Amino acid sequence: MDHSLVTTAFDLDGYRVMRNLGIVRGIVVRSRSIFGTIGAGLQTIVGGNITLLTDLCEKTREHSYELMCQHAEQLGANAVIGMRYDATEVMQGVTEVLCYGTAVIVERS
Protein backbone atom coordinates (compact mmCIF):
# COMPACT_ATOMS: atom_id res chain seq x y z
CA MET A 1 0.00 0.00 0.00
CA ASP A 2 1.19 3.48 -0.86
CA HIS A 3 1.63 5.14 2.54
CA SER A 4 0.85 8.53 1.02
CA LEU A 5 -2.72 7.20 0.68
CA VAL A 6 -3.10 6.73 4.44
CA THR A 7 -4.49 9.82 6.15
CA THR A 8 -6.13 11.04 9.31
CA ALA A 9 -8.45 13.10 7.11
CA PHE A 10 -11.68 11.69 5.70
CA ASP A 11 -10.78 12.45 2.10
CA LEU A 12 -7.68 12.51 -0.08
CA ASP A 13 -7.03 15.55 -2.27
CA GLY A 14 -7.12 14.56 -5.91
CA TYR A 15 -8.85 11.22 -5.22
CA ARG A 16 -12.42 10.05 -5.08
CA VAL A 17 -13.59 7.24 -2.78
CA MET A 18 -15.12 4.57 -4.98
CA ARG A 19 -15.83 1.96 -2.33
CA ASN A 20 -15.79 1.76 1.46
CA LEU A 21 -14.48 -1.62 2.66
CA GLY A 22 -14.95 -1.04 6.39
CA ILE A 23 -12.84 -0.65 9.48
CA VAL A 24 -9.30 -2.03 9.56
CA ARG A 25 -7.00 -2.29 12.53
CA GLY A 26 -3.59 -3.26 13.74
CA ILE A 27 -3.20 -4.22 17.39
CA VAL A 28 0.10 -4.69 19.24
CA VAL A 29 0.45 -5.50 22.94
CA ARG A 30 3.91 -4.80 24.33
CA SER A 31 5.62 -5.00 27.66
CA ARG A 32 8.84 -3.44 28.81
CA SER A 33 11.76 -5.73 29.51
CA ILE A 34 13.36 -5.63 32.95
CA PHE A 35 16.43 -4.02 31.37
CA GLY A 36 14.31 -1.39 29.64
CA THR A 37 12.48 -0.65 32.87
CA ILE A 38 15.74 -0.24 34.79
CA GLY A 39 17.28 1.89 32.02
CA ALA A 40 14.19 4.10 31.81
CA GLY A 41 14.23 4.45 35.59
CA LEU A 42 17.82 5.66 35.44
CA GLN A 43 16.94 8.12 32.67
CA THR A 44 14.17 9.62 34.84
CA ILE A 45 16.79 10.56 37.44
CA VAL A 46 18.51 12.81 34.90
CA GLY A 47 15.23 14.12 33.49
CA GLY A 48 14.29 15.01 29.93
CA ASN A 49 13.26 12.69 27.14
CA ILE A 50 13.16 9.03 28.21
CA THR A 51 14.64 7.71 24.95
CA LEU A 52 14.26 4.03 25.84
CA LEU A 53 10.52 4.43 26.24
CA THR A 54 10.22 6.84 23.30
CA ASP A 55 11.87 4.26 21.04
CA LEU A 56 9.64 1.48 22.38
CA CYS A 57 6.51 3.56 21.82
CA GLU A 58 7.58 4.56 18.31
CA LYS A 59 8.34 0.96 17.31
CA THR A 60 5.00 -0.20 18.73
CA ARG A 61 3.06 2.49 16.84
CA GLU A 62 4.95 1.67 13.63
CA HIS A 63 4.20 -2.04 14.04
CA SER A 64 0.47 -1.43 14.65
CA TYR A 65 0.39 0.91 11.62
CA GLU A 66 1.96 -1.75 9.39
CA LEU A 67 -0.53 -4.35 10.64
CA MET A 68 -3.42 -1.99 9.84
CA CYS A 69 -2.06 -1.45 6.31
CA GLN A 70 -1.74 -5.22 5.83
CA HIS A 71 -5.33 -5.69 6.98
CA ALA A 72 -6.47 -3.03 4.47
CA GLU A 73 -4.54 -4.71 1.65
CA GLN A 74 -6.11 -8.07 2.52
CA LEU A 75 -9.51 -6.45 1.96
CA GLY A 76 -8.37 -5.09 -1.40
CA ALA A 77 -8.04 -1.45 -0.32
CA ASN A 78 -5.56 0.96 -1.83
CA ALA A 79 -6.05 3.67 0.82
CA VAL A 80 -7.04 4.21 4.46
CA ILE A 81 -8.89 7.30 5.63
CA GLY A 82 -9.66 8.49 9.16
CA MET A 83 -6.59 6.74 10.60
CA ARG A 84 -6.14 7.06 14.37
CA TYR A 85 -4.09 5.60 17.22
CA ASP A 86 -5.33 4.54 20.63
CA ALA A 87 -3.35 3.15 23.55
CA THR A 88 -4.47 1.41 26.72
CA GLU A 89 -2.47 0.06 29.61
CA VAL A 90 -3.91 -3.45 30.02
CA MET A 91 -1.83 -4.16 33.12
CA GLN A 92 1.17 -2.54 34.78
CA GLY A 93 3.98 -2.36 32.23
CA VAL A 94 1.84 -3.83 29.41
CA THR A 95 0.33 -1.52 26.81
CA GLU A 96 -1.97 -2.17 23.87
CA VAL A 97 -1.57 0.12 20.87
CA LEU A 98 -4.35 0.13 18.31
CA CYS A 99 -4.07 1.75 14.89
CA TYR A 100 -7.36 1.90 13.00
CA GLY A 101 -9.08 3.55 10.09
CA THR A 102 -11.47 3.00 7.20
CA ALA A 103 -10.22 0.94 4.27
CA VAL A 104 -11.28 2.36 0.94
CA ILE A 105 -10.68 2.02 -2.76
CA VAL A 106 -9.85 5.36 -4.32
CA GLU A 107 -9.16 6.57 -7.83
CA ARG A 108 -7.77 9.83 -9.12
CA SER A 109 -10.48 12.40 -9.75
SS3 (DSSP) at 107: strand
DSSP state of 38: H
Residues 60, 97: contact at Cβ < 8 Å? Answer: yes
Dump pLDDT digits (tens) for 7-60: 999 999 999 999 999 999 999 998 865 555 555 555 566 666 667 778 888 999
DSSP state of 42: H
Dump pLDDT digits (tens) for 51-85: 777 888 899 999 999 999 999 999 999 999 999 99
Domains parsed from the chain with CATH numbers? 3-108 (3.30.110.70)
Considering only 18-22, 68-72, 92-96, 99-103, which range has the smallest mean pLDDT? 92-96
SS (H, E, C) 49-89: CCHHHHHHHHHHHHHHHHHHHHHHHHHCCCEEEEEEEEEEE
